[in-house]
């Protein structure tokens, strides 16, 4: 059986760190690989021929040699997952859907896939494989019991192009003992953490070592959910690292009560954990209690953060605004806390209600859910929750302004100073080899520092503790994170105002004028459509004979429109002459930088002749 597994392309978000990947991290295309697919591949019968395509780093094949196609996805990937399922299914392939969103909302996949796998796959996937070989596959495989992680195989890391990722995912546990009201983790994985054995993790690390990996992200929901098991793992990891000369740089997710356990912190350091992602959510105790995040109220938050820093462990953190207790004062409170705590990777989201969570049920009963509003990513300029302590407009405006203040050069530099004052020298082992580190430094200098002129250079110089040279890479890394987030804010948090829409519409007129000749012959149609979360969408429909001049001018005009407005561009191509293919490729190269906002729709006849990299552009399929 030939199985193709696909991870659909993510829409861009803070988490994409696009600026960092494009400018400063040589050779990297995405932050983490799809570990769920590598695990699924390892659960297949030995004689199956399995391959993985991650659309975040490579294009999806349009006519793959496969008997079966499995497509995963989180909520944010659902629309792309649906498009791919439909595309392949319409072409006669048997398709299977799975992953986070199918696990939480299997009902959303009705009619989209031949089979849906909901929940952890360790037990149900081998059953599906047997059934499909016998021609008896069912429509739904739903794991409703408890999977022991000791039965989870070493993922097929060999099927992933690991050098293209910033760090590689590995999982020790699933589940979390807490009960935050907005959390879907405990709905999907339960409140009793389940773990692998340390030796199992050791085998996975051996596999990664063989593939030259150095940076590993333990993607646990809460690595310290079961503290005795976590300590056993960390002791094992510390010994493993000693034996292998601190080969790995680790990061993970954990709850804030980590700060209250010095033994645990010491072990994190001994195992060379350089960073931890913590859901801090809010400096306001009333909001924490409202959301049942009691574990964050047991100690002063700033003291907790600084305690963790004193072990040489950096903090990435999640914050939420829009709790019922939050008024317009909340923005200043968050800004003060994040600045004092020196947290650079501050993922601030709006409160959103994910289906099946207790928060969703409560707000639904209160009539406070905004219908037809996407709730898959909470770091966008919208939410499906009607706030209580301020108006919806105040919430969005305050959210945007908070980001603009936090991520200007002064905000970035102040946080670095506040953190590095407390952060202890990191434990042994670096994430990068020396030549890699030098290349990053050089690129940061050109694309980050020089691009910001003398004022940024001065801020940078003052933010670095030159007398503690081991911390200099930390300061550079924080600048890269800060500038990356700022780049996203500038491109995505621009309010969609009437002048912005007008500016985008102006381009329609420019295109109409520039291409009047082709429009008259019927070779081209140009149009503009309103869009909900953008300045609009410009569309070029290529229908007949065009010439080189057209492609050159189209490239110039469209590049300008993408650079100067937040508009989307659609290129619908029904006709493209063989002799124009190289002009087409040149046009795409020119637009690649803005690929996230460029949709390309190819006619069925052109699909196999005209190459479009779907990891760069949004490749749409006509029904």
Q: What angle do CA 230, 233, 236 make, to 5 degrees?
A: 150
> For ligand SF4, which residue of 200, 255, 614, 618 counts as binding (CB under 6 A)?
255
Query: Which listed option, ligand SF4, ligand B12, none, makes contact with residue 268 (CB within 5 to 8 Å by class)?
Result: none
Residue 293: CB minimum distance to ligand SF4, A: 6
Residue 186 interface partner, choices ligand SF4, ligand B12, none, CB cut-off 5-8 Å depending on type: ligand SF4
Torsion of CA 567, 572, 576, 581, to 10 degrees: 40
Q: How far apart are CA 444 and CA 450, in angstroms?
A: 9
Query: Can you tell me whether residue 263 is helix, strand or coil?
Result: helix
| Cβ distance to ligand SF4 smaller for residue 356 or 433 | 356
Choose from ligand B12, ligand SF4, none: what does 178 bind? Cβ within 5-8 Å by kind: ligand SF4
Q: Applying CB under 6 A, which of residues 69, 76, 185, 234 lies at the interface with ligand SF4?
A: 185
**Cα 406 → chain centroid:** 21
Q: Which does 36 bind (CB under 5 to 8 A by kind): ligand B12, ligand SF4, none?
A: ligand B12
Strand order in the sheet with 273-281: 168-170, 215-218, 249-253, 273-281, 314-321, 346-350
- Under the criterion CB under 6 A, does residue 280 sit at the interface with ligand SF4? no
Length of the chain: 623
**Among 41, 53, 76, 341, contact with ligand B12 (rule: CB under 6 A):** 76
SS3 content of the chain, % helix, strand, coil (to 5): 45, 15, 40
Q: Are strands 314-321 and 49-54 parallel, antiparallel or unpaired?
A: unpaired
Residue from 52, 53, 74, 267 touching ligand B12 (CB under 6 A): that is 74
Does 166 contact ligand B12 by CB under 6 A? Answer: no
- Considering the rule CB under 6 A, would residue 101 count as an interface residue with ligand B12? yes
Contact between 529 and 499 (Cβ < 8 Å): no
Pick the closer one to ligand B12 by CB: 137 or 523: 137
Least distance to ligand B12, CB of residue 30, Å: 7
By the rule CB under 6 A, 183 interacts with ligand SF4: yes
CB of 160 to ligand B12, least distance (A): 10
Point out which span in 173-181, 334-342, 362-370, 429-437 binds ligand SF4 (CB under 6 A): 173-181
Residue 359 near ligand SF4 by CB under 6 A:
no
Stretch of 180-188, 333-341, 505-513, 562-570 contacting ligand SF4, by CB under 6 A: 180-188
- CA Rg value for the chain: 25
Asked if 545 contacts 514 with a C-beta cutoff of 8 angstroms, the reply is no
Site for ligand SF4 in 214-233 (CB under 6 A): 221-222
Structure tokens at 487: 């780049």
CB distance 399 to 331 below 8 Å: yes
Tokens of 363: 């707000």
Q: Is 377 in the site for ligand B12 (CB under 6 A)?
A: yes
Residue nearest to ligand B12 (CB): 98
Contacting ligand B12 (CB under 6 A), which of 35, 52, 208, 542?
A: 35
- Smallest CA-to-CA distance from 311 within 209, 415, 422 is with 422
Closest CA relative to residue 370, chosen from 349, 392, 400: 392
Dihedral angle sign, alpha carbons of residues 30, 35, 37, 41: positive
- Of 12-20, 179-187, 208-216, 458-466, which part binds ligand SF4 (CB under 6 A)? 179-187
Rounded CA gap, 430 and 247, in Å? 8
Give the span between the Cα atoms of 37 and 92, in whole angstroms: 22
Q: What are the two backbone dihedrals, phi and then psi, of residue 432, each rounded to the nearest 5 degrees?
A: -120, 150
**Cα distance between residue 63 and residue 91, in whole Å:** 9
* 180 contact, one of ligand SF4, ligand B12, none, CB 5-8 Å limit per kind: ligand SF4
CB 7 within 8 A of CB 473: no
> Using CB distances below 5 to 8 A depending on partner kind, what does residue 395 bind out of ligand SF4, ligand B12, none?
none
485 neighbors 441 (Cβ within 8 angstroms): no
Residue 176 as a binder of ligand SF4 (CB under 6 A): the answer is: yes
75 binds, among ligand SF4, ligand B12, none (CB under 5 to 8 A by kind): ligand B12
Positions 190 through 249 that interact with ligand B12 (CB under 6 A)? 219, 221
The encoded tokens of residue 471 equal 């911390």
Residue 103 CA neighbour count, 13 Å, CB half: 19
Binding mask 539-578 for ligand B12 (x = CB under 6 A): ----------------------------------------
Q: Which is nearer to ligand B12, 122 or 324 (CB)?
A: 122
Q: Which residue number, 15 or 432, has a Cβ lying nearer to ligand B12?
A: 15
Report the distance separating Cα 296 and Cα 304, nearest Å: 9
Per CB under 6 A, does 132 bind ligand B12? no
Q: 168-170 and 173-174 as β-strands: parallel, antiparallel, unpaired?
A: unpaired
CA distance 299 to 135: 58
Residue 10 in contact with ligand B12, rule: CB under 6 A: yes
According to the binding rule CB under 6 A, does residue 280 interact with ligand B12?
A: no
What is the rounded CA–CA span in Å between residue 598 and residue 594? 7
Does residue 477 touch ligand SF4 according to CB under 6 A?
Answer: no
122 touches ligand B12 (CB under 6 A): yes
How is residue 97 written in tokens? 């859907």
* Near ligand SF4 by CB under 6 A: residue from 21, 25, 160, 180: 180
Residues that bind ligand B12 (CB under 6 A): 10-11, 13, 15-16, 31-37, 39-40, 70-72, 74-76, 96, 98-101, 103-104, 117, 120-122, 125, 169, 171, 184-185, 219, 221, 349, 377-379
Residues that bind ligand SF4 (CB under 6 A): 176, 178-180, 183, 185-186, 221-222, 255, 279
């Amino acid at each position: 059986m030939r199985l193709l597994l696909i991870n659909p392309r993510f829409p861009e978000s803070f988490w994409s760190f696009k600026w960092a990947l494009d400018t400063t991290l040589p050779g990297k295309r995405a932050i983490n690989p799809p570990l769920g697919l590598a695990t699924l591949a390892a659960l297949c019968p030995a004689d199956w021929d399995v391959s993985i395509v991650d659309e975040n780093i490579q294009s999806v094949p349009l006519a793959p040699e496969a008997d079966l196609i499995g497509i995963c996805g989180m909520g944010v990937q659902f629309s792309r997952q649906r498009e791919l399922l439909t595309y392949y299914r319409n072409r006669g392939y048997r398709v299977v859907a799975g992953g986070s969103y199918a696990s939480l909302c299997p009902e959303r996949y009705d009619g989209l896939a031949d089979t849906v796998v909901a929940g952890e796959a360790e037990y149900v996937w081998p059953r599906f494989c047997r059934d499909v070989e016998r021609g008896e596959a069912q429509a739904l495989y739903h794991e409703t019991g408890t999977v022991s992680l000791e039965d989870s195989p070493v993922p097929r890391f060999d099927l992933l192009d690991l050098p293209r990722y910033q760090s590689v995912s590995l999982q020790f546990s699933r589940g979390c003992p807490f009960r935050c009201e907005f959390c879907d983790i405990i709905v999907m994985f339960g409140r009793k953490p389940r773990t692998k054995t340390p030796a199992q993790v050791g085998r996975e690390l051996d596999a990664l070592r063989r593939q030259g990996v150095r940076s590993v992200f333990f993607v646990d929901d809460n690595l310290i959910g079961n503290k005795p098991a976590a300590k056993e793992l960390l002791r094992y990891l510390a010994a493993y690292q000693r034996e292998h000369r601190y080969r790995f740089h680790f990061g993970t997710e954990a709850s804030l009560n980590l700060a209250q356990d010095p033994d645990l912190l010491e072990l994190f350091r001994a195992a060379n954990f350089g960073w931890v992602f913590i859901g801090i959510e809010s400096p306001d105790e009333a909001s924490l209690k409202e959301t049942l995040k009691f574990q964050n109220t047991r100690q002063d938050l700033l003291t907790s953060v600084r305690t963790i820093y004193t072990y040489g462990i950096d903090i990435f953190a999640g914050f939420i605004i829009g709790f019922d207790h939050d008024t317009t004062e909340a923005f200043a409170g968050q800004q003060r806390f994040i600045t004092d705590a020196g947290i650079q990777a501050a993922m601030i989201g709006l409160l959103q209600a994910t289906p099946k969570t207790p928060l969703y049920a409560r707000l639904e009963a209160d009539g406070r859910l905004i219908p037809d509003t996407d709730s898959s990513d909470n770091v966008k300029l919208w939410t499906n929750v009607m706030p209580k302590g301020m108006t919806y407009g105040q919430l969005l405006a305050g959210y945007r302004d908070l980001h603009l203040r936090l991520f200007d050069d002064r905000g970035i530099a102040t946080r670095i100073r506040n953190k590095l004052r407390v952060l202890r020298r990191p434990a042994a082992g670096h994430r990068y080899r020396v030549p890699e580190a030098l290349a990053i430094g050089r690129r940061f200098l050109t694309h980050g520092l020089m691009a910001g002129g003398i004022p940024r250079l001065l801020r940078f110089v003052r933010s670095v503790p030159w007398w503690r040279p081991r911390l200099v890479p930390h300061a550079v890394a924080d600048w890269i994170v800060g500038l990356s987030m700022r780049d996203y804010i500038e491109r995505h948090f621009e309010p969609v105002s009437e002048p912005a829409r007008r500016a985008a519409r102006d381009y329609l007129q420019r295109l109409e004028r520039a291409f009047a000749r082709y429009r008259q012959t019927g070779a081209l149609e140009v149009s503009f459509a309103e869009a909900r979360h953008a300045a609009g969408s410009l569309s070029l429909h290529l229908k007949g004979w065009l010439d080189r001049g057209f492609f050159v001018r189209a490239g110039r005009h469209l590049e300008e429109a993408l650079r100067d407005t937040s508009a989307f561009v659609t290129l619908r191509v029904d006709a493209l002459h063989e002799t124009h293919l190289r002009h087409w490729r040149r046009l795409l190269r020119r637009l690649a930088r803005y690929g996230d906002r460029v949709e390309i729709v190819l006619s069925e006849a052109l699909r196999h002749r005209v190459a479009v990299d779907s990891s760069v552009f949004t490749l749409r399929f006509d029904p």
